[in-house]
Structure 1
Amino acid sequence: MGNKKTTAFSGAVLAAVMLTLPACGGGGGGATGEVAAPPSDPKEVSGEIKVLTQRTDLVQSGALQEYAAEFNKVYPNVKVTFDGITDYEGEVKIRMNTSNYGDVLLIPGAVAKNDYPKFFAPLGTAEELSKYRFSDKAEVDGKVYGVAQFGTANGFVYNKKLWRRAGVTEWPKTPDAFLAGLKAIEEKTGTTPYYTNFKDGWPLVQWTNNLGVVGCDAQAGNALAGPVSPWKAGGELNTTDGLLYDIVKQGLSEKDPTTTNWETSKALLGEGEIATMMLGSWSITQMQDAAKKAGGEASDIGFMPFPVQKDGKHCAALVSDYQQAVSIHSHNKPAARAWVDWFTERSGFAEKEGVVSAVKSAPMPATLQDFVDNDVTFFDRSETKTAAVNDIDEAAEIGLNKQDYRQKLIDTARGAAKGSLQDFFADLDKRWDEAAKTAGS
């Protein structure tokens, strides 16, 4: 996955998937509790560290090596090498059955949150790491074991020209207004208003990253940790999944979802053949590139928040990307920690990629300027109860962070599967609530 699709999987998709896979065994057993503390004097830090990455494209292009050269201006005695891994999840999961999985790595989804102390060195206390966004995602018993590479906002990436040609010049404020906008696009432009990316599947997980936008509630994810009927009327998932259902039910998406193609979708949006897709803000630069290749301008591509408002304002959830961690087996923890801190705070990586910096005090990227200008409320969705929510989700066999249930939702909406939306949601609620009574017991 060394192409642009890697960027997609490194963003909100894997952020959502991170803690849903079964825990991997073996391999732990380093000096548990030894803090990988930030070094006080850069010139006293020396040695070699290996950094594992899923961004094979940045290794092949030499871009990461350029970052390392900049790092060496501050830490001249540290040699940084990179190991770009195509099947990152699969390969690193295997390596972690040994003690040899690099000095710095991205925490794989196969590691259960409560097992972090077995594999990674703590970076400090929750208070010490509070300057970073999403630190609670890697917090175990008051210690933090990972720092996010970056964050991403969620919303709809769209072709501004098509929405303007349809007469829609303001962001829809309600799901009904959004549907009316899609209908106008179909009627006035003859293009496909919405593209599901059904076949590749993983883009459907992006809908889960809207948790919290309906109520502008940072605790919306944690609120699922119990028999709470998540798809009940008025609930977050009822509103978001209900909109996806209505888009398809009303014939506002592609004719045959089984033939969609992710790579093709970028070109189609850039060319103005399709108007809208639900994705994280990591996708904006890719769509802008596609627009330029089609002879258009980067400014043809816009990003709009989910069509609901709280107290007269749109809201956008910020979610974590992969978390950078230091291996508990690293023989050079000071240099490894130095790399994590420098890459997060001083490399400029997040700014260059057009994503949200993990540093709370950093400004929003240019890709989200429209959100800033229009006073969209950003919130970091809390992850303190993620492990419990994932246990329920797994026991219920629903898969909030997998594509299957939304593919069935789309099939139900288009008549390829039997049943009504109400029955579909009722079944999900029943399974969730029953699982919540037994999960973790």
Structure 2
Amino acid sequence: MNRRTVLAIAVGAALMLAGCTGTGGTSKGADAKAPVDPSKVSGTITVLTQRTDLVQDGTMKKYAAEFNKTYPKVKVEFQALTNYETEVKIRMNTENYGDVLMIPAVIKKNDYPKFFASLGTEAERSKKYRFTDFTAVDGKVYGQSPIGVTPGFVYNKKVWRDAGITEWPTTPAEFIADLKAIKTKTDAVPYYTNFAAQWPLTSWTYVNGSVHCDTQATTELAEGDPWAKGSDLRVGDKLLYDIVHDGLAEKDPTTTNWEESKPRLAKGEIATEWLGTWAIIQYQDAAKQAGTDPDDIGFMPFPAQVDGKFCAVVSPDYNQAVNVHSKHKEAARAWVDWFTDKSGYDKDNLALSPLKNSSLPTVLKPYEDAGVKLIELDDSAGARVKLLDDESEVGIYKPDYRQDLVDLARGAKKGDLDGFLDDLGKKWTDAQQTVGS
């Protein structure tokens, strides 16, 4: 699965939906205890994954072989699902949804105890791991992401240098000016929307928190108007609008091609795309295949600063969980812990480790050098935000409204930006009157 190894976005978060039709979960309060003696853990476990690419190329099998050096009596089998969310949602109407799985975004957070076994208390796990509050219900944690991701601009450093730009822009206005310089001084498309693929547009939601370096940004979505004057989402959406409106994106967004964009950016035909850290390794691989320098692939934060410093939000990818109905919970828990702590999956994907004592991945060394502040958002209001998004029919985690925004900017849709964003805000705040806390 090339388009989304994380994010939802990648991204873990990029497919957030409300509600669940699954009725398979009936047990509640079950625990998946961590093994004490690896030599005594046994059983065959099925791991469901969206990483069809890693199953097909044998990478997951190699992980399992390493796992067996510690847990020799556990057999790990993988089922790779191309349309992960849809297929797992159907399976969860039964008890047969693997022993280990990534938590589908469609599951309501409060329903986690019905479907997944607890990994322990948040108070204890938060000492060692990041992102524990994203899957915590009543003080217990029901999932753990093996990697963390942060949104940002993947860019071709050579193209930006050729345009005379040597410093990251610090404001949206500077960013627009830089794209104009790229358009004037190079042959590259300054910015590529990936409009036709749709899902990359959802990444713009993860501007939220970065603009004002606000760890309570999710809570503010739940309680206020996400498109109020000066708000993070309004700043992000206005930047996307201005890019397209000022002719700094591809001529016809409907003809964009996600897979083709990778070698094109690697070769300098495209200058910039808003994606996430998960994409860097794919673009570097594309550079190698194209015969260009992988070191030309750069990554920069959103152009906004607080007290002279950039901020970037770090979020979990899909969270692995143990099926509450699994007959081999101890073996399943062993896999989750080992894959998170020992597999090297984070390093293989140039991603942030969920272990709090870990160092930043090499791809974020420029962030470290520039003093970029990495923040984690408080997700205690995350469940309410999902409900509001569903009730308002805005779809901040879906591509539709930003496709409309791009169409508005390029003149394919009537209206003006302020009216468009104000309408989104009204739908959202109206929903707040009907959705409970």
Residues 6-63 of structure 1 deviation map (CA, whole Å, 9 limit, x = unaligned): 4266641242223x14312311113x21211111111121122111111111112111
Matched, 1:15 2:13: yes
Matched, 1:409 2:382: no
Q: Which amino acid aligns with 2:100?
A: V
Q: 1:386 aligns with which of 382, 389, 397?
A: 382
Partner secondary structure for residue 129 of structure 2: coil
Q: Is the 8 A contact 1:269 1:276 kept in 2?
A: yes
Q: Which residue of 2 aligns with 1:365?
A: 361
Q: Is the 8 A contact 2:116 2:322 kept in 1?
A: yes
Where do 5+ consecutive residues of structure 2 fail to align? Answer: none
Matched, 1:186 2:191: no
Q: Which residue of 1 aligns with 2:278?
A: 282
Q: Which residue of 2 aligns with 1:5?
A: 3
Q: Which amino acid aligns with 1:13?
A: V
Residues 39-95 of structure 1 deviation map (CA, whole Å, 9 limit, x = unaligned): 111112112211111111111211111111111111122111111122211111111
Q: Which residue of 2 aligns with 1:161?
A: 158
**Cα distance in 1, alignment partners of residues 9 and 209 from structure 2:** 18
Output the TM-score relative to the length of structure 2. Answer: 0.97
Q: Which amino acid aligns with 2:63?
A: Y
Q: Is the 8 A contact 2:314 2:376 kept in 1?
A: yes
**Cα distance in 1, alignment partners of residues 106 and 73 from structure 2:** 34
Q: Which residue of 2 aligns with 1:237?
A: 233
Partner secondary structure for residue 243 of structure 1: helix
Q: 2:395 aligns with which of 396, 399, 404?
A: 399
Q: Which amino acid aligns with 2:154?
A: V
Residue correspondences, number:
436
Q: CA deviation at 1:240?
A: 0.8
**Cα distance in 1, alignment partners of residues 62 and 268 from structure 2:** 35
Matched, 1:173 2:170: yes
Q: Which residue of 2 aligns with 1:223?
A: 220
Matched, 1:135 2:132: yes
Q: Which amino acid aligns with 2:11?
A: V
Q: Which residue of 2 aligns with 1:423?
A: 419
Q: Is the 8 A contact 1:193 1:253 kept in 2?
A: yes
Residues 341-395 of structure 1 deviation map (CA, whole Å, 9 limit, x = unaligned): 0100011111111111111211111121111121110011221111111111111
**Cα distance in 1, alignment partners of residues 60 and 83 from structure 2:** 18
**Cα distance in 2, alignment partners of residues 211 and 120 from structure 1:** 29
Q: Which amino acid aligns with 1:90?
A: T
Q: Which residue of 2 aligns with 1:87?
A: 83
**Cα distance in 2, alignment partners of residues 79 and 29 from structure 1:** 27
Q: 1:262 aligns with which of 255, 258, 264?
A: 258
Q: Is the 8 A contact 2:227 2:233 kept in 1?
A: yes
**Cα distance in 2, alignment partners of residues 174 and 6 from structure 1:** 28
Q: Which amino acid aligns with 2:125?
A: L
* Cα RMSD for the two superposed structures: 1.3
Matched, 1:433 2:426: no
Matched, 1:78 2:77: no
Q: Is the 8 A contact 2:7 2:317 kept in 1?
A: no
Q: Which amino acid aligns with 2:435?
A: A
Shift >6 Å, 4+ stretches: none
Q: CA deviation at 1:98?
A: 1.0
Where do 5+ consecutive residues of structure 1 fail to align? Answer: none
Q: Which residue of 2 aligns with 1:207?
A: 204
Output the TM-score relative to the length of structure 1. Answer: 0.96
